[in-house]
Amino acid sequence: MASIHLQNIEKKYGAFVGVQNMSLEIADEEFLVLLGPSGCGKTTTMRMIAGLELPTGGKIVIGGEEMTEIDARDRDVAMVFQGYALYPNMSIYENIRFPLRMRGIPKAEHDARIRQAADMVELGSFLDRKPGALSGGQRQRAALARAVVRQPQVFLMDEPLSNLDAKLRQSMRVQIKHMQRQLKVTTVYVTHDQIEAMTLADRIVIMNKGAIQQVGTPDQIYSDPANTFVAGFIGSPPMNLIEGVAQNGRFVAPGVTAACPGYVQGRVTLGVRPEDCHVGGDNVQGMVYGVEPTGDTTYLTVLAGTKKIEVKAAREYRSDIDVPISITFDPAHLYFFGEDGQRIRGAA
């Protein structure tokens, strides 16, 4: 299979910069997820790896060969699309067979490989149907089978699950991860859904406005965010970001005070995850704004000054609104970000 190197790639559309000066190493057999809001350049990056779009600058190397200007058809990458992109006039069997035909694989091998691929995604009994006669989940599995059948160097998946309902998404997620581990094919997966990213990825690349914000394992991304963008994007509900002033080891914002390391000074942003906030104590003095029991937990929104702070409270916690409340932060899990949004770290 293959590793992928992106060297300073760049994509401009006239004056608009889609992807700027991006460098990334993707290891052989790795499952890499590109995560970010819509318009962040993640899909453009993937399409450049596929060869569907050419970068306006930089180099793309796949499996040790430079591919920057090679046609998509010759890159030996398989792609799974958000809308499945099954050929509507062909049966599922013909759909899965199409890449084999296009790549001149001997006809004698076709049938066995198609059936093997279809069995992998449990679609063996639907081979005669047209895509229109399948459900969304079945179509997505057919698209996976079409990608798997030719054993490409790289899988590219562009939001493959976003058209499915929540329940199906979960089971497909497991299936995709299982398949990737089994086939050991380098995979790049684009999504805006952080749950998908956290559950699937070996490493996550978080992008915003055409640039990489952070690269790391799901654990690193969650527990060691590099900047406010990453901190605010990951987690559900996301990290509370409270703007205030730090002076002499003390962070102060309307209704909020907290201890902070001495090297944190001036206008900063305090980050704290809802699960690191607890009812009681003295970090926050505010009013209850809302209480949302979800069954296994209860989310509490506290209004401190004009800022709403999310707290993950005990399951049985209940309260009326507009009642005074105080909150403490877990001092070991506080994050501070400078005015530029970057993490402030102590001298290592």
Partner 1 sequence: MRTDAPSVPAKGVAQAIPKPAPRRRSPALRRAFPYILLAPALAYLLVITLYPGLFAIYQSLFVVKFLTWEWTGFGNYSAILQDREFWAALGNTALIGAISLTLQTVIALAIAYFAYRDPFIRGWRIVYLMPMLFMPSAVAFIWKLAFNDGRVISDLLGRLGLIEGNIDWLGSIPLARLTLIVADVWQWTPFLFIIFVAALQGQDQEIEEAARLDGASWPSIFWNISLPMMRPVIVVAITLRGIDITTMFTNVFVMTQGTPGGATETMSYFIYRQGFRMFNFGYASAASVLMLILTVIIAQTVVKRAFHSGKK
Partner 2 sequence: MAKARKSRGESMLLRYLVLGGWALVCLLPILWFLSIGFRPRTEVITPQPIYWPTFSLDAWHLLMSDWPIAKYLRNSVIAVAGSVVIDLMLAIPAAYALARYEFKGREDIGFYILSTRMMAPAIVAVPIFFLFKTLGLLDSVWALMLIYAAINLSLVTWIIRSYMLDIPKELEDAARTDGAGDLTILREIIVPACLPGIITAAVIAAIFAINEFLFTLLIASTSNAYTMSVALANFTGGSDGIIYNAIALVSFIAFVPILILVILIQKHLSRGLTMGAVKG
Shortest CB 134 distance to partner 1, Å: 19
From 89, 116, 171, 223, residue interacting with partner 1 (rule: CB under 8 A): 116
Pairing between strand 277-293 and 324-329? antiparallel
Pairing between strand 31-35 and 203-208? parallel
The item of partner 1, partner 2, none sharing an interface with residue 77, based on CB under 5 to 8 Å by kind, is partner 2
| Cis peptide upstream of residue 237 (ω within 30 degrees of 0) | yes
Which positions from 52 through 91 interact with partner 2, judged by CB under 8 A?
52, 71-75, 77-79, 81-90
Shortest CB 30 distance to partner 2, Å: 20
- To which residue do tokens 């993707």 refer? 26
C-alpha to C-alpha distance for 343 and 348, rounded to whole angstroms: 13
Q: Is 106 in the site for partner 1 (CB under 8 A)?
A: yes
- Would you give the binding string for partner 2 spanning residues 97-116, x where CB under 8 A is met? -xx--xx-------------
Report which of 278, 333, 281 is spatially closest to residue 309, judged by C-alpha positions.
Answer: 278
The item of partner 2, partner 1, none sharing an interface with residue 182, based on CB under 5 to 8 Å by kind, is partner 1
CB burial string 256-285: b at 16+ within 10 A, e below: bebebeeebbeebbbbbbbbbbbbeeebbb
Please, what is the angle between helix 107-120 and helix 92-102, to 10°? 130
Q: Output the six-digit token pair for 224.
A: 């060691």
C-alpha to C-alpha distance for 301 and 321, rounded to whole angstroms: 10
- To which residue do tokens 């009994």 refer? 125
- Phi and psi at residue 213, in whole multiples of 5°? -95, -40
Q: Is 171 in the site for partner 1 (CB under 8 A)?
A: no
The item of partner 1, partner 2, none sharing an interface with residue 65, based on CB under 5 to 8 Å by kind, is partner 1
CB 268 within 8 A of CB 261: no
| 230 SS3 class | helix
Of the pair 62, 277, the CB lying nearest partner 2 is at 62
Shortest CB 171 distance to partner 2, Å: 23
Of the pair 116, 236, the CB lying nearest partner 1 is at 116
- To which residue do tokens 């409340």 refer? 325
Q: How far is CA 319 from the centre of its chain?
A: 35
C-alpha to C-alpha distance for 38 and 154, rounded to whole angstroms: 23
From 29, 76, 94, 224, residue interacting with partner 1 (rule: CB under 8 A): 76
Which positions from 138 through 167 interact with partner 1, judged by CB under 8 A?
148, 150-151
Shortest CB 146 distance to partner 2, Å: 7
The item of partner 1, partner 2, none sharing an interface with residue 70, based on CB under 5 to 8 Å by kind, is partner 1
Q: Is 67 in the site for partner 1 (CB under 8 A)?
A: yes
Shortest CB 80 distance to partner 1, Å: 17
Task: Give me the sign of the Cα torsion angle 103, 24, 172, 86.
Answer: negative
Q: Is 156 in the site for partner 2 (CB under 8 A)?
A: yes
Of the pair 86, 264, the CB lying nearest partner 2 is at 86
By CB under 8 A, which span of 65-73, 203-211, 213-221, 238-246 interacts with partner 1?
65-73
Q: List interacting residues with partner 2 (CB under 8 A).
A: 47, 50-52, 71-75, 77-79, 81-90, 98-99, 102-103, 146, 150, 156
Q: List interacting residues with partner 1 (CB under 8 A).
A: 65, 67, 69-71, 73-76, 103-106, 109, 113, 116-117, 119-120, 122, 148, 150-151, 175, 178, 182-183
